[in-house]
Structure 1
Amino acid sequence: MRRRRPPQDDIHNKERWLISYADFITLLFAFFVVMYSVSSVNEGKYKVLSETLTGVFNAPQRSFQPIEVGDQPPRPEVGPSQDIIPSAVAEAPRNPEQETQERTEALRTMADQLSMEFDDLINRGVVTLETNDQWLALNLPDSLLFGSGDAEPHYDAFDVIEKIARVLKNRDNAIKVEGFTDNQPIGTSRFPSNWELSAARAAAVVRMLGMDGIEPERMAAVGYGQHQPLARNDTEEGRRRNRRVVLLISRDASIRGVMR
C-alpha cells in the first residue's frame, strides 16, 4: 500500500521555530557586542564628548522679537543734548611705547601665574618655562598629555590644559602650540610618520584649549616631527626630552607673527 506523504505546509510549519531561534541568537550576539563596547570606553574621548554635550545643553536660550512685514525696527532715541562721537575720535590715540610696555608686563604676569600653577612639576624638572620680553614658552612632556604613539589625550591631560586656560582667558595674546617627537619611526595607518603624530598632538591641545574657553582665532597648531630635537636621539633620556608639546605665547595679538 502506498504511504501518503505529509502535506508540504505541515513540514514548513514544523520548521518555523528555526527562524525565531536564529533571530534570538542574532539579538543575543548584538547585545554582548554592545555590552563589550560600553565596557571599554576611552576616557579621553568620553571626556571630550561629555564636555561638548554639557556645553550644548547648558547654552543660554536666545529668542528674537519678530518684526512684522511693513513695520520699521525701533531706532534708539537720541536726545537734543546728546552728541554722537565716532569711536575713533572719542578715544585718544595711545602711545605705542606705553602699549608695548603694558603688554610686556602682562606677559610677565602670565609667566608668573603659569609658574605658580606648575610649581611642583617645574621644580622636579618635568615642565620647563622660558620667557623674555616678546614671548613665553611652556614645555610639556608628551607623557603628561598622551599615551605612547597616540594623539588622543588621556584623562589627566584635561586638568593640565584647564590650568593653562585659566591663565590665558580674557586676554588676546596669540598662542602657537608646537608638537615634537623623537626619531623613532611610527608608520601606523593613522600616523604614517612622525609629522602626522606631532601635528595631531598639537591640534588636540588646541582643541582642548578651545573647549576651555580660549578663542580659536588666537591659536595655531604646528607639527615639527623629529626635526627640531632638544637632545640627541641615541639615548632614551634624549628621546624622552624630544617628545614634547610647547605652548608659545606671544606678547602681541597677531597669531601670524608668533616667532622664536
Structure 2
Amino acid sequence: MRKKSGFTMLFLAVLLSAAPCLWAEQFVYKHTAGDRYRILSTVHEEGYVNRRLSLRSEILNRIAVEVLEAGGGTGRHRAVFQTAERALRTEPAVRSDGYAEGQSYQWEREYESEFQRDARGYITIDRHFFMPVVRNVPVFPDRNLKVGDSWSAEGHEMHDFRDSFGIPEPYRIPFTANYTFLGEQEWKGRLYPAFSVSYRIFSEPNPVAGKIWPRRILGASDQRVFWDFELGQAAAYTETFRMIFELSDGRTVEYCGTAEAEIVESPRMDKEQAVWDINRDIANLGIADASARVVDEGITISLENVQFQAESAVLLPEERAKLAKISEILRRYPNRDILVGGHTALAGTEAGRMQLSRDRAASVAEYLITQKVRGPERMVVRGYGAEKPLGDNRTEAGRRRNRRVEITILEN
C-alpha cells in the first residue's frame, strides 16, 4: 500500500524528447532502439494509522530501462524497478560493537515490466505488471506550447496491495492530471525548461470479497519536471504527495511526504578489466577467502566464511581488518553504488536464516559506511538466507563457502 512514488513520475518523464532547437514548444516522446536509462530517486515518507504516526522512513528507488524496439513514434521498453528502505530515528541506535545501526537501506522488492509508449505519452501495458505506478503521466497535447499554457489528461496509479490486503492483481486508481508549462526553473544551480503536473484522487472502490479493502481513497500529488534540451529528456523531478485510505475494517491509513529523482549518468563499466584489477588487488593486499567475478548487476566481491560472534551479527576484529582492506578497493570506484548481500549455510529455520543474513549484511554495510566507502544513501543491504549456495551444505568446506557476504559494485 506504500506510495513509493519518487521514482515512478521521473521514470515516466525520462524518455521525453523535444525537437532539437533552443526553445522547443511541442513536447513529444522520442524513442531509439538500444537506448538505456538509469534513474535514482529518494522518497521521504511518514505513515499514520488513525492519525497517529506509525513510521518515518526513506525509500531508495533504482530504475534501469532499455528501449527494445522503436518505430512510428512508439517505443517498446523493458524496465527493472528496485526498492530499498531505511527507518529514520531521531537518534541512531548504537550496537554493542559501537557502530550506528540502521544507516544503510534494506532491500525490499524488485519488479520487472514491459510496455509500449506512443509519441504523446500514452502507454500500452499488460495489467499484470505492477510498475510503473503512475501511468499516462506526463502526456502532451498535439500542439505547440507557450509558457503559461495548461492542459489536462486522464491517468491512473497501479498499486501493489498484495502485502497490505492480499489483493493479488495491481490495483487501479484513476485521476485527471493538470499540467502547466512553467518556462525556465532552477534545479541544482542550473536553469531548465519545466512543467508542473498535479492531480487529486477521490475514489470509492467496489468491495473485494473476503479481503480488507479501501472503502475510500483520497490523494494528492504535485510534481515538477525539469527538462534538458541537450540530453533530450528530463534531468530531474520533484514531488509532494499524500494518500489516505479509509479501510473496510475501520482504520484510516495515511502516507505523505516528498520525493526527488534524477538521471544517473555513469559510463558503462569494463567489467572484465575491473574484475582482473580487483582480484590482483585482493592478492596484493593478502585478503583471504575473497574473490571478484562479473555479474549482471556489476562486479561482486565474495567474502567467504566471514566470522561473527556466535549467533549474532557482530563482526570479529579480524574481519574488520579484512573489510578495511576491501574498503581500499571500493574507494577506487566512487561513482558506483554498492549492494551488500548476506548468505548463510543451511541451518536453522528459513525465517531465521533470512533474518541472520540480512543482519550480517547490514553489519558489514555499517562498517563500510564508517570507513567512508560510501554514504548511507548509496548502499543497499539484502539478505538471501541459504537461497544461493556456492558449496555443498553437507560438508564443512561447503558450509564455509556458503557463510559469506558479497559486496556488489553496481553499474548504476
What is the TM-score of this pair, normalised by structure 2? 0.34
Structure 1 residues 114, 92: CA separation in 2 closer, same or farther (over 3 Å shift)? farther
Describe how 1:1-260 pairs up with structure 2 within 5 A. 45=97, 48=99, 86=190, 93=230, 102-105=267-270, 111-119=275-283, 126-131=289-294, 135-143=298-306, 145-169=307-331, 171-185=334-348, 193-213=352-372, 214-252=374-412
Structure 1 residues 131, 234: CA separation in 2 closer, same or farther (over 3 Å shift)? same
Report the CA distance between 1:168 and its aligned residue: 2.9
Instruction: Tell me the secondary structure at the aligned position of residue 202 of structure 1.
Output: helix
For CA contacts below 8 A with separation 6 or more, give which structure has more relative contact order: 1
Bigger share in strand: 2
Q: Please, which runs of 5 or more residues in structure 2 have no aligned partner?
A: 1-95, 101-188, 194-227, 233-264
**How many residues get paired?**
162
| Identity level (%) | 26
Structure 1 residues 146, 165: CA separation in 2 closer, same or farther (over 3 Å shift)? same
Report the CA distance between 1:87 and its aligned residue: 5.5
Distance 1:203 1:194 in 2: 14
Bigger share in helix: 1
Structure 1 residues 162, 183: CA separation in 2 closer, same or farther (over 3 Å shift)? same
Match of 1:41 in 2: none
Structure showing greater Rg:
1
Structure 1 residues 167, 121: CA separation in 2 closer, same or farther (over 3 Å shift)? closer
Distance 1:168 1:246 in 2: 13
Q: Please, which runs of 5 or more residues in structure 1 have no aligned partner?
A: 1-43, 50-84, 253-260
Report the CA distance between 1:240 and its aligned residue: 1.3
Instruction: Tell me the secondary structure at the aligned position of residue 45 of structure 1.
Output: coil
Structure 1 residues 201, 115: CA separation in 2 closer, same or farther (over 3 Å shift)? same
| Structure 1 letter corresponding to 2:323 | I
Distance 2:274 2:322 in 1: 16
Distance 1:112 1:88 in 2: 41
Instruction: Tell me the secondary structure at the aligned position of residue 104 of structure 1.
Output: coil
Report the CA distance between 1:111 and its aligned residue: 3.8
| Structure 1 letter corresponding to 2:268 | R
What is the TM-score of this pair, normalised by structure 1? 0.51
Instruction: Verify the 8 A CA contact 2:341 2:407 in the aligned structure 1.
Output: yes
Distance 2:273 2:229 in 1: 26
| Structure 2 letter corresponding to 1:181 | T
| Structure 2 letter corresponding to 1:198 | S
Distance 1:134 1:103 in 2: 11
Report the CA distance between 1:226 and its aligned residue: 1.5
Distance 1:117 1:146 in 2: 24
Match of 1:5 in 2: none
Structure 1 residues 181, 132: CA separation in 2 closer, same or farther (over 3 Å shift)? closer
Report the CA distance between 1:94 and its aligned residue: 6.5
Structure 1 residues 151, 134: CA separation in 2 closer, same or farther (over 3 Å shift)? closer
